[in-house]
Structure 1
Amino acid sequence: MLAYSPLAFGLLSGKYRQGAKPAGARLSLWADYFDRYTQGLVPELAHQYCEAAEEHGVDPAQMALAFVLSRPFIDSAIIGVTSIEQLDHCLDAAELKLDKPTLKSIAMLHEQQPNPCP
């Protein structure tokens, strides 16, 4: 299986926290293109996942990618980057192994809200 948009248009990178709209970012350029990323509980849950990553000393984007890549049914993930720095950052996630406390935090958030889309 191929994972599409494992960073949820960048939401799981943390760059949109507290309503930020970074210049050139996908949701800044195309805010209404994929409303599933901006409606309902999605922004708040993305924030909670980012907080969980930081509590465990892990970069939010790398945590999301490492989690997706750790699933036994995932063969690859499609990532979208706009710079070589972002590419390098995402590629580093392939070497990250999430520990049990981090995986437990992810599971707890998922159990609280398995489908945040409206």
Structure 2
Amino acid sequence: MVPEGSRMSLSPDLGGRNTARAHLAAAAYMEVAQKHGLDPVHMALAWCAGRPFMASVIFGATTAAQLAHIIEGKDIELSDQVLADLNKAHRAHPMPY
């Protein structure tokens, strides 16, 4: 189900990024989050913040509740095992769209 007002409800093909390959990649990353008891939003933002080339992490929050949820994960640090699992998922699903 696509939430009303979400990007996909407004642009169903997401600029060509709504593909079967992208859904498989997303499922792989969701499995990593679930395996390690992490919120997938917090995991993704922590991964971005941990990249040596990243100057800042930009996120989209449409509602105050979304912003509050994002802020809850601001201090998350990913373990070496989580990073290894993320790298494995990335190797299995490079450039998914």
Mark yes or no: TM-score above 0.5.
yes
The two structures have a TM-score, normalised by structure 2, of 0.89
- Cα distance between partner residues in 2 of 1:46 and 1:68: 16
1:49 aligns with 2:29: yes
Contact 2:7 2:14 in 1 (8 A): no
The two structures have a TM-score, normalised by structure 1, of 0.75
The aligned runs of 1:28-39 (5 Å cut-off) are: 28-36=9-17, 38-39=18-19
Corresponding residue number in structure 1 for 2:80: 100
RMSD: 1.4
- Cα distance between partner residues in 1 of 2:31 and 2:5: 24
Deviation at 1:30, TM superposition (A): 1.3
> After the TM superposition, which parts of structure 1 deviate over 3 Å for at least 4 consecutive aligned residues?
none
5+ long unaligned stretches in structure 2: none
Q: Which amino acid aligns with 2:52?
A: P
Contact 1:21 1:28 in 2 (8 A): yes
Deviation at 1:91, TM superposition (A): 2.3
- Cα distance between partner residues in 2 of 1:110 and 1:75: 21
Choose the corresponding residue for 2:7, options 23, 26, 32: 26
| Fraction of identical pairs, as percent | 35
Aligned length: 97
